[in-house]
Every structure is written in C-alpha cells, then in structure tokens.
Amino acid sequence: MGTKGCLPSVVTYTSLIHGLCLSNDLDEAIGLFEEMKEKGIVANLYTYSSLMDGLCKGGRCSQAMELLEIMTTEHLQPNTVTYSSLINGLCKEQRLSEAVELLDRMKLRGFKHAGLYGKIITGFCVAQKFQEAANFLDEMVFGRISPNRLTWGLHVRINNTVVRGLCETDPNRSFQLYLSMRTRGISVEAETFDFLIDSFCKKGDLHKAARIVEEMVLDGCIPNETTWSTVLRGFWDRKKVREAAELIQVELVKKSIESH
DNA sequence: TTAGGGTTAG
C-alpha cells in the first residue's frame, strides 16, 4: 500500500486486528496494535474494542482489562460494545466481582442492558451463588430493565434456574421469586414446579406445596408421577390428614350411593 | 469505512 502512495489508516489496522482476533492470532494482533502506535496512527474505540474482545474470547481477560486502563488515559470512553466484551469474558473466567464492577460503571453512565445482567446472573448460578443471582433479578425488576424479543428466552431460563437453585437454601425466597415470575408473565417450567413442590414438602409446608400443584395444573402442566407421590407422601405422613381424608372418602361413597 | 450479543419455527 505504501509503495502505491496509499498509507494504511486506523481503519486498515483495525480491520486487520479484527481479522487476526477472529482467527485467534492474538499475539499478531497485539503486534499490529504496537506497530500502528509506533507509526503514530492513533487507535480509536473500534480498534480497542476489537482487540479487547479478541483477548477476552481467547481467555486473556487480564490483558483486555489493562487495555481498558490505557484507553481511558487516552481519553477514550468505552461504550456498550466494549463493556459487553469485557463482561462476557470476565464471566466466562468466573471473575464475577470484576464483571459486577464494570456493570456498575455502565449503570453510572446510563447504560441499561438486560443481556449483560443475564451473563452475570448466569455466572452466579454457575458458582452456586443463588442469593446473589436473585439480588440481580430483583434489581432488574426495580430498574425496569426488561429483556427484548431476542433476550426473552434467556431471561425465562435464568429465572427458572434461580428459583430451582434457591429451593435448596432459601425456599421462601424461591417462592417469592416464583410469584414475581407469575405476575411478570414469565413462564414457569414443569421442572421448576417439581423443585418447588419437593422443597415445600420437605419443609413440611404442605399447604404451599398443594397450592403450587394447583397453579401448575392451571398453567397446563401435568404433574408427573414423582410430583404426585411427593405431595401425597407429604400429606400421608400426617396422621390427622389421613384420617380426615378417610372420612371424606366415606362421605363421598355415601353420597354416590344416595345419588344412584 | 472499523467493534458484540441476543431467538426460533419451518
């Protein structure tokens, strides 16, 4: 290009760096990044975002974070694209506190992004930290951050995962989230119902378990045999309930004989 | 001019 009097610009370098990142030639990409600096060509937001995304995808988040510091010293403001790459990478490496920190920075600048909340919440679920995951779901509700047509499916899955995860450690909060899902129109998966019912049976809160079975059926989910037997066993273990059930049965038999 | 990610039935 040079011999033809057509010198590479920042766009030329950015395109090349992007391409090298796509083929995971990260060291070469960094090499070009250095080279353009030496030539006095100033990297812009696109250049940084490309290289940082490549580094994150290649499991080199720390280097990407260094670039974040460098770009701010050059008075370049990261935007949603930049943060998105970083948060994705940090979550993949289970560096959740750093991911949360970046999300906070985005919030300060007014970026609301349901997809990135999703990444972080999924990260907490993978780490079995369901309370934290639920906190972020609450935050989404309070902040009116709702998923769009494309992220909706992911959001449904995340809510279900968190409810199931909470069943183990905090059934009451799990139930609270379950209720909030219903009011927000987020469909509860059959397996999630099973988790809730099982957890309340174990806790001995049979009324709640029965209520959930009822709502499950109303939603058109047919409880499977395991769920039925879990609930029945729960009731059965209580002697008084059994006696009452037997009385009702006697009544029913009497009535059916009378009506015939 | 150059950067990411997110859905799904047919």
Helix (H, G, I), strand (E, B) or coil at A116: helix
Rounded CA separation A124/A96 (Å): 7
Residue A64, pLDDT above cutoff 80: yes
Judge whether residue A80 contacts strand B, using its CB and a 7 Å cut-off: yes
For chain A, percent helix, then strand, then coil, each to nearest 5? 75, 0, 25
Rounded CA separation A59/A57 (Å): 5
**In chain A, % of residues over pLDDT 90:** 70
What's residue A240's pLDDT?
59
What's residue A228's pLDDT?
80
What's residue A150's pLDDT?
85
Is the separation of the CB atoms in A88 and A109 below 8 Å?
Answer: no
Q: What is the pLDDT of residues A208-221, one digit of tens each?
A: 998 999 899 888 88
What's residue A42's pLDDT?
96
Give the single-character DSSP code of A209: H
Residue nearest to nucleotide B7 (CA to C1'): A150
Is the separation of the CB atoms in A52 and A68 below 8 Å?
Answer: yes
Amino acid at A136: F
Judge whether residue A9 contacts strand B, using its CB and a 7 Å cut-off: yes
Amino acid at A206: L
Residue A204, pLDDT above cutoff 80: yes
Residue A56, pLDDT above cutoff 90: yes
Q: How many CB atoms lie within 10 A of CB A67?
A: 21
The nucleotide minimizing the C1' distance to residue A14's CA is B2
Amino acid at A161: T
Residue A54, pLDDT above cutoff 80: yes
User: Who's near A196: CB < 8 A, 6+ residues apart?
Assistant: A163, A167, A171, A174, A175, A178, A209, A212
Judge whether residue A204 contacts strand B, using its CB and a 7 Å cut-off: no
Judge whether residue A45 contacts strand B, using its CB and a 7 Å cut-off: yes
Residue A176, pLDDT above cutoff 90: yes
Amino acid at A151: T
The nucleotide minimizing the C1' distance to residue A45's CA is B3
Residue A7, pLDDT above cutoff 70: yes
Residue A146, pLDDT above cutoff 80: yes
Amino acid at A188: V
Q: Taking the CA atoms of chain A, what radius of gyration do you get in angstroms? A: 27
Give the residue-averaged pLDDT of A141-154. Answer: 90
**What are φ and ψ of residue A227, in 5° steps?**
-65, -45
Q: What's the Å distance between residue A201 CA and nucleotide B4 C1'?
A: 45
Amino acid at A112: K
How does the average pLDDT of chain A come out, rounded? 90
Q: What is the pLDDT of residues A98-113, one digit of tens each?
A: 999 999 999 999 888 8
Residue nearest to nucleotide B2 (CA to C1'): A11
Q: How confident is the model at residue A243 (pLDDT cuts 50, 70, 90)?
A: low
- Predicted TM-score (pTM) of the model is 0.85
Give the single-character DSSP code of A55: H
Amino acid at A209: A
A230 or A201: which leads in pLDDT: A201
Q: How many CB atoms lie within 10 A of CB A104?
A: 9
Q: What's the Å distance between residue A157 CA and nucleotide B2 C1'?
A: 35
Is the separation of the CB atoms in A120 and A96 below 8 Å?
Answer: yes
